[in-house]
Structures are given as C-alpha cells and as structure tokens.
Structure 1
C-alpha cells in the first residue's frame, strides 16, 4: 500500500476517533454507577455497567414527553417544508416564466442569511398574533426553507424534460407531475434533505428557548436543560443517559437511511 494512501486512511481514522470520542464517553458515563463516575481513574469501559441511570432519566424527568415533542415538531416542520418546496422547486426547474433566474438567485442568496437574523421580527410577529408558547410557534417559522428549495430544484433540474412532457401529454396537471413524476424520481434527495431538516430542528436549542416557556412543549435539547437544572447537580449519570436517549433516534435514522442519504447528495449537481 502506498504511503500516501496509508497517511490518508490514518488521518480519516484519527478524525473519526475525535468525532466519536465524546459520544462514546457519553454512553460510557450513562452506564456507570454514581460511585464509579467520580473515581480518579479514567476508564471508557464501565466496570460495573448498570441501567439505573436510564431508569431515573425515564421516570424522574419528562424525557419521554420531550422526545414526543421532538417527533411532533420535526415531523410537522418536514411535512410543511416538503408541501411548500416540492411545487416551488419543480416550477424553478421545469417552468419558464419571467424572473425565474432572478428568483433562483434570491433563493441562493437566502442561504447566506442565518435564522438568527430573522428571529427577532418573527418573534415579535408571533407575539402580536399571540402564537407563542404553542406547537405552531415551534413549527411555522421553518415551513419555508431556502436550503430545501435549492436542493430539490437541483434534483428536479436533472430529470429529463421528455418525462415531464410525457406527463403533460397524458393530461396530468403541473402539480400532479411535480408530485407523481418528479418527487419519486428525486426520492434520494428528498431523504437527504429530510435527514438534514430533522437533525437541524431536533438539535435546535435557540428558537425553542425563545418561543416557548411551557415545559410541556419543550423539545429534547430544551428538555435536557430542564433536566440539568432540576436533577443533575452531582448526578451526571442520569444526565448522560438522557442525552443518549435524545441522540439515539437521530443515529438510528441516519444508519437506516445512509445509502439514500449519500445517493441524494451525489445526485444534486449544479445544473442550471
């Protein structure tokens, strides 16, 4: 094996270790009894593994409720994003209308604007409409997504125009073509976008801390803060168990959709 190849694999392995080490340590602490966590000796493997920390995390806190909120919020956001983005992306890719290039340029420019810039006016608008402290406040601001629109437009642009024309000849409406022809063909990209969307909003702490104060509406990261403030103190075991429970669904979802995810990223070129 060539030295350059060995060096490349070595750097990749080192990067993987650095990325995975905090997660390994989190799971390790979650399986350790309290007395073992505060020993002067550092050990990745628990000497006396226990599930007591998980029992406490599930029974002494509202983590099951936070996980349910996370599913409802991320699922609601993803559904609205697809409902809005699929027809718009199809129009940008396969419809001719004045200002199409300018509109697509505005979408690309919107990718450069972080959500934090628009958070204050969105908060004020929702406060005026009395929509704060609700699932609507957690879901609605993310219904329109420049990233999803850009990603799906790139995928739809690679669909041959002949297929679109065939749908029109068969009497299908443009909306039917978008959902029944373009959407299935771009499914790997849709799955890749879904993983990005769910991961971003499942882990989001900024907006839930602003939009809701009711603990019953807390998403997983917000709920972990309640858990830390109320329960952790010198009890990092249950805290790490809660963090593991919050992280596990994302890891499992990514592993199940890994092939589609990589296919989706590979199929989104920069075709204009």
Structure 2
C-alpha cells in the first residue's frame, strides 16, 4: 500500500509538472480558431502546425536567437570548466595557507544572486564599450562558484595515492588535473554542464541589461520580442511554436545527461 501510494503521488506530480509543456506543444499544432474552443487540449492539425512554426521562424530571427544562445552557453561552459577544474583541484588536494578561507568565499559566492553585482558590472561593461557584444553576455559568468564547488567536492574523494604516483611519474599539477582528475570527474562535469546550459539558455535578466540590438538577443529575450512584435502579438499558436523550439534543446540536454546529473550530485553530497 505504501509503495502504491508513493507511485501514485509521483505520477500525479509528474502529470502536474508536464501538463504546461503538453499544452504548449498541443497549442503549437492547433489552428488559431480552435485554441479557445474550451477543450482541455485543442485538436492538432498538420497544416496549422506548419503555419505556426513557419510564422515563428520568419516573424523574428528565431534561428539567430537560438544560435546566439548556443554560442554563449558553449563558450561559457568551456571557460567555466577550464577555470573551475584547477581551482577545485587546488581546494581539494593542494595544502596551502588560506585554503579554508577561499573555500568559504566560494560558499558565500553561491549565496549572492546576480542582481546584486548587476549595476557595477553594467557600468564596467558600458565603460569598456562592450554593450551589445558576446563578451558582455559571457564575461560576468566565466568564473562559476557552483562549478568550483562541484569539482572540489568530487576531487576530495579522489585517491591521493594515485596523485602521488602521477607526480612520481613526472606529471605536472595541471597534467594531473586534465589527464587524471577531469576524466574521472565526468559525472561532475555532466551535472554542471546541464545546470550551466539550462541557466544561461533561460537567462532573461542579464541579456535585458546589456543587449538592445535584435541580432544579439538570446532565446528568452527573442521570444519576448516575438510576443510584442506586430502581428505576432495575438498569434498564440506561433508563440507556443517558438516556445517549443526554444525548450526542446534543454529537454534533450537534460535527457542526455540525466544519469550523470544525478550521479554527480550524489557524489558531491557524499563528500
């Protein structure tokens, strides 16, 4: 009975969570006149689906918005891992004065929302003339406290004997990081990659601060612009089609990294 009740509650929670996405997909396949028919899910139509998706792609440069989002997320992920892996290794395995203080600073940084340093960051970026550039979208997030924390938690459990043996074999500290630690930390990399991609793909606040040109807009900002542009303002089917196209890459990324995501956080929790 307890197990059946647990499964029932999980199924109900999954249904409540998925219903908005199912409705978004159904509306993107529906004709405009059937959306407000009162049915729980409007009747799908291939002709209406083609019209909605074509309108979403042509009314605004949605493909360019998604390309911008992919570029920002990809470059950010590479830079974040490049910086966080050695930093996490140093905090986990290298004895040096002030290490607890630095780790405490990482923990504190996890608690500070982006809105707190937004004004000084904007002033600095505007002073350097970098508004409406990829640098403005990427630079403030290159050092990720979350990535450093995850790598540090994973590396703490790595056998020190293996590291000592690698040093005897002539490995440098960076060689140990990139040739031993990072390949072994694939669950942590996958967990952080999923979080980083989702957070920065969905970010609307910072792009609104530093971007004004249409060609530099990211997916959420582009969808907001689509919502308020001319004929598309009342075209709910095309709006939902745009939402489906913007959401689909995140769903695929999560499904691909799902097991590694759970494993990475599990290992971090045990550390």
TM-score if structure 1 supplies the norm length? 0.95
Alpha-carbon contact 2:226-2:233 (below 8 Å) kept: no
Contact 1:154–1:268, Cα closer than 8 Å, also in 2:
yes
Deviations, residues 213-234 of structure 1 (Å, cap 9, x unaligned):
0110000000001101114222
Question: Are 1:153 and 2:147 an aligned pair?
Answer: no
Residue 46 of structure 1: how far off its partner (Å):
2.0
Q: What is the alpha-carbon distance in structure 2 between the residues aligned to residue 202 and residue 76 of structure 1?
A: 12
Change (3 A) 1:135 1:62: same
Q: How does 1:115-126 map to 2 (within 5 A)?
A: 115-126=114-125
Q: Secondary structure at the match of 1:51?
A: helix
What does the per-residue CA deviation read over 1:201-256, in whole Å, with 9 as the maximum and x for residues that have no partner? 00000000001101100000000011011142221010000000000001011112
Give the whole-Å Cα distance in 2 for the aligned partners of 1:171 and 1:77. 32
Helix, strand or coil at the partner of 2:30 = coil
Q: How does 1:96-111 map to 2 (within 5 A)?
A: 96-111=95-110
1: distance between equivalents of 2:203 and 2:39? 31
RMSD of equivalent CA atoms: 1.2
Deviation of 1:120 after TM superposition, in Å, equals: 0.9
Q: 1:42 — aligned with what?
A: 39
Distance 1:213 1:159 in 2: 46
5+ long unaligned stretches in structure 1: none
What does the per-residue CA deviation read over 1:48-105, in whole Å, with 9 as the maximum and x for residues that have no partner? Answer: 3432211111123200000000000111111110111011111001100001111111
- Cα distance in 1 for partners of 2:191, 2:45 equals 40
TM-score (norm 2): 0.96
Number of positions where the alignment pairs a residue of Structure 1 with one of Structure 2 = 268
Find runs of 4+ consecutive structure 1 residues off by over 6 angstroms. none
Of the structure 1 ranges 42-51 and 163-172, higher mean CA displacement relative to structure 2 is found in 42-51
- Per-residue deviation, 1:45: 5.1
Q: Say if 2:3 is the partner of 1:22.
A: no
1:179 positional shift: 0.8
- 2: CA distance, partners of 1:79 / 1:123: 23
Q: Alpha-carbon deviation of 1:260? A: 1.6
Q: Secondary structure at the match of 1:190?
A: helix
Report 1:1-272 matches (<5 A). 3-39=1-37, 41-44=38-41, 46-49=43-46, 50-230=49-229, 231-269=231-269, 271=271
Deviations 1:113-166 (A, max 9, x none): 111111111111111111111000000000011111101100111110011111
Q: For structure 2, which runs of at least 5 residues remain unmatched after alignment?
A: none
